[in-house]
C-alpha cells in the first residue's frame, strides 16, 4: 500500500486514477479547488489551489508517490508550467516520484521522427496553446529537473477525454515515446488508462521517461 497524492484528482483523468488506486487499497489523497459531487469511498479530498505552493506542500510531503493530473486550460493555462515546476521541486525535495498525466501530441509516430506537436496544422488553433504547454512539460521542463527527481510522463492515445469516455476493457498497450497506435492515434478509456497508470506506479520500472497507453 502506498500513499498516493493526485493533484487534480477530481478531473477526467485524475478521478479515474484515484478510483483505480483506491480500489487497489492505496491510501489516496485528491487535491482540487472544488470537492467532487460523488466522492470515492476511502479517498481523502483536499480542497486547495495548486497555484499556491503552500497548498501543495503537505499533500506532497505526506505522499510516497505524487500524480499530476492538471490540465493546461482555463485559469491554469498560463500558470500550468510554473505550477508543475513547483510540484517537481516539492516532489524532489520530498524524495517521491512524480507521475504526470500527459497528452498525445508530445508522442512521435516513429523512432527518430518529429513529435506530433511539431505540426499542428490539422488541429484547431484554439487548442494550440494547450497542446504546446502540455508538450513543453516533457520536452523541456521535466528533463531539466535535477537528476534526483524521478518522473514518468504518461501520454494517452489520441481519442481520450471527457467527451469520449470509452468503456473499460481491462487491458491496454504500453509504449515508450512512440505512439502505440500512430496510424490513427488510437483510443483509450479513462478506466483502462488508469489501470495502466497505476500498474506503472506499482511496478516502478520507468524512470525519467515518457510512456504511452492505448487500447
Ligand X SMILES: NC(=O)c1ccc[n+]([C@@H]2O[C@H](COP(=O)([O-])OP(=O)(O)OC[C@H]3O[C@@H](n4cnc5c(N)ncnc54)[C@H](OP(=O)(O)O)[C@@H]3O)[C@@H](O)[C@H]2O)c1
Q: In the complex, which residues of this chain contact ligand X (CB under 6 A)?
A: 8-14, 31-34, 49-51, 69-71, 76, 101, 103-104, 134, 156, 158, 160-162
Tell the smallest beta-carbon distance from residue 92 to ligand X (Å). 20
Give yes or no for a contact between 7 and 87, defined as CB atoms under 8 angstroms apart. yes
Tell the smallest beta-carbon distance from residue 215 to ligand X (Å). 13
Give yes or no for a contact between 51 and 74, defined as CB atoms under 8 angstroms apart. no
User: Smaller CB distance to ligand X: residue 22 or 71?
Assistant: 71
Tell the smallest beta-carbon distance from residue 41 to ligand X (Å). 18
Tell the smallest beta-carbon distance from residue 73 to ligand X (Å). 6
Ranked by CB distance to ligand X, the top (closest) residue is 11
User: Smaller CB distance to ligand X: residue 37 or 205?
Assistant: 37
User: Smaller CB distance to ligand X: residue 124 or 148?
Assistant: 124
Exposed / middle / buried, residue 38 (Cβ in 10 Å: 0-12, 13-18, 19+) = exposed
Amino acid at each position: 500500500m502506498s500513499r498516493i497524492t493526485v493533484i487534480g484528482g477530481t478531473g477526467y483523468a485524475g478521478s479515474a486514477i484515484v478510483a483505480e488506486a483506491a480500489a487497489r487499497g492505496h491510501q489516496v489523497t485528491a487535491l482540487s479547488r472544488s470537492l467532487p459531487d460523488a466522492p470515492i469511498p476511502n479517498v481523502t479530498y483536499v480542497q486547495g489551489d495548486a497555484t499556491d505552493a503552500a497548498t501543495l506542500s503537505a499533500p506532497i510531503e505526506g505522499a510516497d508517490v505524487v500524480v499530476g493530473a492538471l490540465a493546461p486550460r482555463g485559469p491554469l493555462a498560463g500558470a500550468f508550467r510554473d505550477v508543475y515546476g513547483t510540484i517537481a521541486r516539492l516532489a524532489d525535495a520530498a524524495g517521491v516520484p512524480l507521475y504526470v498525466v500527459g497528452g498525445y501530441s508530445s508522442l512521435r509516430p516513429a523512432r527518430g521522427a518529429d513529435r506530433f506537436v511539431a505540426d499542428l496544422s490539422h488541429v484547431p488553433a484554439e487548442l494550440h496553446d494547450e497542446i504546446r504547454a502540455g508538450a513543453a512539460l516533457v520536452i523541456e521542463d521535466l528533463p531539466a529537473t535535477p537528476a534526483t527527481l524521478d518522473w514518468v510522463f504518461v501520454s494517452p492515445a489520441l481519442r481520450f477525454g471527457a467527451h469520449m469516455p470509452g468503456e473499460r476493457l481491462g487491458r491496454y498497450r504500453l509504449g515508450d515515446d512512440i505512439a502505440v497506435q500512430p496510424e490513427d492515434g488510437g483510443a483509450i478509456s479513462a478506466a483502462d488508462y488508469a489501470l495502466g497508470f497505476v500498474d506503472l506506479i506499482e511496478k516502478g520500472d520507468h524512470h525519467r521517461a515518457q510512456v504511452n497507453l492505448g487500447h
